């Protein structure tokens, strides 16, 4: 063992990224490549009456134009999230129906990007239109169906009695806005057919093996005839897990035109066609005894989906894990609107769910005249109240106590409008953070070479998480050789299935598989150390020793509930004259079990907190209430934090391995950092101003005066 | 990267600062130049014969002349990425909103998605691929790696180029919108976090590696940045916490 796990290691792919040699999806150099540009609907609800492509077809450089009238054949995949998954269940160009503004209605192929774009603008479309369903107040809600096999509705105890008999009650409705993932790399794909029955797809995907099977099913090919190449992903946050309609269309059209085809979405197209986080409306009722023991929580959630697929923002997932409560009731409702299909976005459910619950807990603390840290410590639950299982390696109390100490929380006056600085109101707020500890099956191949280096190969991926380095550090630890001597290859479906980079599970899935494969390679070599094995290799003249191993969760899932925990402490300033809110100081303490790379893990939390600051202060996508067309459609209209909006984020980890979870004891860290952030800020705003804001984002109009 | 003589020629002045602000604000003011450049490009003797609607141009990229034919509507960014195979400069928004396409033109930072390729003849274009000296990275590139100034890496080439330009602007005495005293521009040694953040706010990072990027600029400016790693409460595998 080289004791490299848990230290601070620079990213192994850093040199490629700072020199511009890291290759992202649209950047693979392929000869004979042609370009596609999407034609998108300018109405939100209707039918295409006529579509005239003649002028486009005659334009210089245009090779072909595809619409629903000549749509290439695609097969519906199983779409069960086990074998395959697509983001939108309606296949592109399947008929003349328009379900939302910006929906893809065609594709122009040309020899250059500029000519394809020009061609797309020459296509004339006539529509029959109906009034779109856009207004959240006018839509019909129905009980949300189960999602990925899990029911939403849940009840324990007697909620009516719990609420009726309480000394203190809080009842409030919290809303969150439609948010865009907005990765800096736009969605992009190059589809390259080798003949009509073998396809190479260069596309960022959070799930390499899943993408391979999905494209295979879309074109009725055996999986081994499809290769996915995704060495680098320019940010994903949930919106690059499986194919969107533009990608399916690109692959289908590439086969038709018999040329490698590249399609890159414009920012405007991404707004409609590449997912978002649904806005939510959450009603919370909390009841407590005079000394602050919770007696009831009722949590009712409304979210929205598109006419062509179902995605429910699962906000009630966090409610049974946070605080002990004898009477609990959960309910989620869903309405269909003429909007694009929402999807997973960083901590789906946990993020808006904790926005509501942690705001309500703060309201309760003020009603009780109790420190909000104390209220949380008092009501901490030792078990998952829905699964009925005890939490493994929790340390939530450590996060709260250490965070309070690092922030200086005990100096906080228990009175609103009590702090000022430079003519501005100052406020301190806190909130809890949580995210489930997920883990999946992963396979890894390790190859030991005579020169003392090792290759680690897996079809996992690194979308900025630090996975390349996590794999290298883990292999270095087990093999006892320096990180610099480990070469990691990922993001290619020809490598062993590395699982899904989603639900913060890649590290938890990969690290045990890397460990197992490294141990296996030593066993194969019949050596106890890598240096011994390499010396034996040199002596024998053999080229390499290889071993492949897999790792998957097992019986421990039935004994324990695995969940990561954290606490955020925030300072804000509010300039009430102009309604300007700034986040000026931040402390986060997280328990994610064993930390593998202290540097990259800290960056994950910092990045997530800053994304949460964006959610709290500015992120909000709007549709025109009459036409349903996005009025927020690019990075000038969709604001997220820039350098000047971000304070330095102080991050600490508990660092104790959760060995019940996996042999490394590591849980994921990609999402927990964003949970609770918006509540901590709104709670700080209340402390600063005495204004309880329950609707995100906390824009100046809500803070002025 | 840049001729030192050329560097000293550019005077420290408020006018210089305002000129930069205009460059960043948009390309509309450059329209007459475009016509001039297009005319001169057409008059040039080049080895390539442009197709109808295309022009032959020679761009000087990372010190090398690169001849190509392209339509006048092609942006510098698309010319770099699609024609010259220099994909280090990134297309993030294509509208001058994110900064991922930032390159240096005659030492000034420019959003290459807002610059037309045909207007760049005779100028020295430096992309992220041209910053390192062989295997030796530019100090800003090293500093980004040391301070974890990136995650997914897609905005990174723009952040790196902008940071290189930022340091040069400080050396030239350029003010920013938040510089308190315009007669006394900040020096590298006392460049504040707020100044760095202000001067890099034209480069968005959705992973929000902002803390690391600011630390990287501090390191490259000769300052001592805060450590990039998180604090570990438990450093020994012992039952310290219950």
Domain parsing of chain A, residue ranges: 14-21+440-552, 32-131+184-235+240-273, 143-179+276-437+559-703
Polymer length of chain A: 705
Judging contacts by C-beta atoms under 8 Å, the chain B residues touching residue A19 are 88, 128-129, 131-132, 137, 141
**Are residues A640 and B206, on separate chains, in Cβ contact within 8 Å?**
yes
pLDDT digits (tens, 9 = 90+) for A585-626: 999 999 999 999 999 999 999 999 999 999 999 999 999 998
Q: What is the CATH number of the domain that holds B170?
A: 1.10.150.120
Q: Is residue B50 part of a domain?
A: no
Q: Does domain A32-131+184-235+240-273 have CATH number 3.40.50.1860?
A: no
Could you tell me if B125 and B161 lie in one domain?
no
Burial of A222 (0-12, 13-18, 19+ CB in 10 A): exposed
Q: Assign 3-state DSSP to chain A and report helix, strand, coil percentages, each to 5.
A: 30, 25, 45
Same fold for the pair A14-21+440-552 and A143-179+276-437+559-703: yes
Report the half-sphere exposure of B132 (CA within 13 A, side-chain side): 18
The partner residues of B67 in beta bridges, in order of sequence, read B58
Per-residue pLDDT at A136: 87
End residue of a domain, out of B75, B107, B130: B130
Whether residue A333 is predicted with pLDDT greater than 70 in this model: the reply is yes
For chain B positions 13-32, those within 8 Å of chain A (CB to CB) are none
Distance from CA of A4 to the nearest CA of B (A): 12
For chain A positions 186-215, those within 8 Å of chain B (CB to CB) are 186
Whether residue B29 is predicted with pLDDT greater than 70 in this model: the reply is no
**Are residues A113 and B82, on separate chains, in Cβ contact within 8 Å?**
yes
Distance from CA of A279 to the nearest CA of B (A): 20
The whole domain housing B194 covers 139-231
Q: Kindly state the helix (H) or strand (E) to which residue A203 belongs, with its residue range.
A: strand A199-203
d(C-alpha A608, C-alpha A237), whole Å: 10
B77-93 burial, b at 16+ Cβ within 10 Å, e below that, comes to: bbbbbbbbebbbbbbbb
Q: Which residue of A has its CA nearest to B208?
A: A607
Q: Which residue of B has its CA nearest to A646?
A: B210
Judging contacts by C-beta atoms under 8 Å, the chain A residues touching residue B211 are 603, 606, 646, 648-649
Name the nearest CA neighbour of A341 among A309, A303, A312.
A309
Judging contacts by C-beta atoms under 8 Å, the chain B residues touching residue A113 are 78, 82
Per-residue pLDDT at A512: 97
pLDDT digits (tens, 9 = 90+) for A338-376: 999 999 999 999 999 999 999 999 999 999 999 999 999
Whether residue A311 is predicted with pLDDT greater than 80 in this model: the reply is yes
Q: Kindly state the helix (H) or strand (E) to which residue B6 belongs, with its residue range.
A: helix B4-9
CB pairs < 8 Å spanning A and B: 229
pLDDT digits (tens, 9 = 90+) for B80-137: 999 999 999 999 999 999 999 999 999 999 999 999 999 999 999 999 999 999 999 9
Give the pTM: 0.94
Token couple for A600: 């990259």
Could you tell me if B98 and B175 lie in one domain?
no
Q: What is the CATH number of the domain that holds B89?
A: 3.10.20.30
| Confidence band of B235 (pLDDT split at 50, 70, 90) | low
Name the nearest CA neighbour of A180 among A611, A577, A663.
A611
Could you tell me if B107 and B186 lie in one domain?
no
Q: Which residue has the tokens 């709670």?
A: A683
Judging contacts by C-beta atoms under 8 Å, the chain A residues touching residue B141 are 18-19
Of A266, A643, A655, the CB nearest to B197: A643
CATH number (3.30.365.10, 3.90.870.10, 3.30.1220.10, 1.10.3720.10) of A14-21+440-552 reads 3.30.365.10
Could you tell me if B180 and B220 lie in one domain?
yes
d(C-alpha A144, C-alpha A147), whole Å: 8
Mutual angle of helices A598-617 and B210-220, in 10-degree steps? 120
Whether residue A157 is predicted with pLDDT greater than 50 in this model: the reply is yes
d(C-alpha A562, C-alpha A591), whole Å: 12
Residue B202 DSSP label: T
CATH number (3.40.50.12780, 3.30.565.10, 3.30.365.10, 3.30.450.20) of A143-179+276-437+559-703 reads 3.30.365.10
Could you tell me if B150 and B90 lie in one domain?
no
**Are residues B152 and A600, on separate chains, in Cβ contact within 8 Å?**
no
d(C-alpha A78, C-alpha B17), whole Å: 59
Q: Is residue B35 part of a domain?
A: no
End residue of a domain, out of B78, B97, B130: B130
Domain count across chain B: 2
Judging contacts by C-beta atoms under 8 Å, the chain A residues touching residue B92 are 184-186, 635
The partner residues of A40 in beta bridges, in order of sequence, read A104
End residue of a domain, out of B77, B98, B130: B130
The partner residues of A570 in beta bridges, in order of sequence, read A429, A586
Distance from CA of A696 to the nearest CA of B (A): 19
Q: Positive or negative, the Cα torsion across A305, A307, A311, A316?
A: positive
Mutual angle of helices B156-171 and B139-146, in 10-degree steps? 120
Polymer length of chain B: 242
State yes or no: is A126 an active-site residue.
Answer: no
pLDDT digits (tens, 9 = 90+) for B195-227: 999 999 999 999 999 999 999 999 999 999 999
Could you tell me if B144 and B169 lie in one domain?
yes
Could you tell me if B177 and B224 lie in one domain?
yes
Name the nearest CA neighbour of A185 among B183, B151, B120.
B151
């Amino acid at each position: 063992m080289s004791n490299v796990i848990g230290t601070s290691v620079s990213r192994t792919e850093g040199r490629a990224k700072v020199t511009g040699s890291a290759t992202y999806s649209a950047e693979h150099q392929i000869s004979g490549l042609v370009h596609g540009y999407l034609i998108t609907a300018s109405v939100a609800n209707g039918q295409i009456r006529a579509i005239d492509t003649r002028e486009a077809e005659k334009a210089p450089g245009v090779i072909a134009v595809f619409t629903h009238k000549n749509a290439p054949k695609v097969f519906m995949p199983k779409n069960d999230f086990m074998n395959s998954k697509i983001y939108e269940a309606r296949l592109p160009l399947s008929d003349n129906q328009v379900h939302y503004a910006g929906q893809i209605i065609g594709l122009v192929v040309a020899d250059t990007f500029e000519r394809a774009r020009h061609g797309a603008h020459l296509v004339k479309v006539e529509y029959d239109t109906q009034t779109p369903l856009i207004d959240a107040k006018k839509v019909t809600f129905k009980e949300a169906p189960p999602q990925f096999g899990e029911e939403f509705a849940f009840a324990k105890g007697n909620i009516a009695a719990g609420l009726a008999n309480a000394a203190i009650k809080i009842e409030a409705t919290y809303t969150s806005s439609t948010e865009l993932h907005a990765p800096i790399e736009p969605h992009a794909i190059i589809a390259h057919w080798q003949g009509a029955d073998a396809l190479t797809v260069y596309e960022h995907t959070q799930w390499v093996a899943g993408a391979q099977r999905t494209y295979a099913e879309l074109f009725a090919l055996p999986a081994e005839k499809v290769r996915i190449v995704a060495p680098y992903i320019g940010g994903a946050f949930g919106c690059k897990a499986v194919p969107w309609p533009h990608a399916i269309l690109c692959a289908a059209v590439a086969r038709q035109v018999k040329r490698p085809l590249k399609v890159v979405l414009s920012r405007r197209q991404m707004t409609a066609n590449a997912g978002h986080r649904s806005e939510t409306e959450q009603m919370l009722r909390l009841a407590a005894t005079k000394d602050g023991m919770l007696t009831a929580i009722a949590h009712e959630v409304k979210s929205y989906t598109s006419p062509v697929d179902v995605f429910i923002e699962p906000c009630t997932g966090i409610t049974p894990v946070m605080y002990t409560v004898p009477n609990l009731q959960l309910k989620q409702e869903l309405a269909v609107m003429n909007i694009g299909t929402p999807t997973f976005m960083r901590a789906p459910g946990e993020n808006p769910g904790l926005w509501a619950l942690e705001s309500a807990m703060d309201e309760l603390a003020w009603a009780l005249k109790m420190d909000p840290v104390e209220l949380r410590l008092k009501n901490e639950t030792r078990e998952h109240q829905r699964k009925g299982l005890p939490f493994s390696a929790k340390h939530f109390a450590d996060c709260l106590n250490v965070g309070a100490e690092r922030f200086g929380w005990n100096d906080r006056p228990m009175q609103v409008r009590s702090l000022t600085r430079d003519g501005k109101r100052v406020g301190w707020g806190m909130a809890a953070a949580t995210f489930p500890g997920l883990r999946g099956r992963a396979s890894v191949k390790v190859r030991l070479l005579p020169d003392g280096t090792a290759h680690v190969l897996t079809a996992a991926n690194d979308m900025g998480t630090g996975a390349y380095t996590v794999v290298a550090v883990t292999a270095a630890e087990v093999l006892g050789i320096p990180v610099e001597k480990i070469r990691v290859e990922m993001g290619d479906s020809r490598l062993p299935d590395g699982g899904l980079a989603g639900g913060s599970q890649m590290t938890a899935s990969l690290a045990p598989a890397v460990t197992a494969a490294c141990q296996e390679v030593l066993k194969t070599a019949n050596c106890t150390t890598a240096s011994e094995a390499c010396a034996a290799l040199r002596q024998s003249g053999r080229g390499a020793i290889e071993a492949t191993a897999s790792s998957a969760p097992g019986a421990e899932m039935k004994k324990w509930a695995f969940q990561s925990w954290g606490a955020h402490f925030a300072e804000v300033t509010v300039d009430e004259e102009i309604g300007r809110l700034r986040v000026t100081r931040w402390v986060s303490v997280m328990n994610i079990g064993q930390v593998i790379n202290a540097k990259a893990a800290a960056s994950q939390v910092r990045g997530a907190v800053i994304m949460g600051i964006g959610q709290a202060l500015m992120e909000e996508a709007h549709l025109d209430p009459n036409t349903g067309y996005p009025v927020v459609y690019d990075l000038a209209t969709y604001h997220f934090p820039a350098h000047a909006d971000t304070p330095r984020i102080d991050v600490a980890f508990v660092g104790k391995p959760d060995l019940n979870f996996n042999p490394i004891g590591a849980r994921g860290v990609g999402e927990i950092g964003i949970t609770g952030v918006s509540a901590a800020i709104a709670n700080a705003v209340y402390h600063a101003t005495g204004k309880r804001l329950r609707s995100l984002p906390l824009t100046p109009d809500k803070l002025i005066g | 990267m840049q001729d030192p003589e050329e560097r000293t020629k550019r005077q420290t002045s408020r006018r210089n600062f305002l000129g930069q602000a205009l460059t960043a604000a948009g390309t509309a003011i450059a329209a007459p130049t475009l016509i001039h450049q297009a005319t001169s490009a057409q008059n040039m003797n080049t080895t390539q014969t442009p197709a109808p609607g295309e022009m032959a141009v020679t761009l000087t990229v990372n010190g090398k002349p690169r001849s190509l034919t392209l339509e006048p509507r092609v942006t510098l960014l698309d010319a770099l990425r699609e024609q010259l195979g220099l994909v280090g400069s990134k297309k993030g928004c294509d509208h001058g909103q994110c900064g991922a396409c930032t390159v240096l033109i005659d030492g000034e930072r420019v959003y290459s998605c807002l610059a037309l390729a045909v207007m760049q003849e005779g100028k020295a274009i430096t992309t992220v691929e041209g910053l390192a000296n062989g295997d030796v990275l530019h100090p800003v590139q090293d500093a980004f790696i040391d301070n974890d100034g990136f995650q997914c890496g897609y905005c990174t080439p723009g952040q790196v180029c902008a940071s290189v330009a930022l340091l040069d602007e400080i050396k030239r005495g350029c003010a920013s919108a938040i510089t308190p005293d315009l007669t006394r521009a900040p020096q590298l040694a006392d460049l504040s976090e707020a100044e760095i953040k202000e001067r890099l706010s034209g480069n968005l990072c959705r992973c929000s590696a902002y803390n690391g990027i600011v630390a990287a600029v501090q390191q490259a400016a000769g300052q001592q940045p805060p450590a990039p790693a998180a604090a570990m409460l438990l450093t020994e595998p012992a039952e310290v916490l219950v």
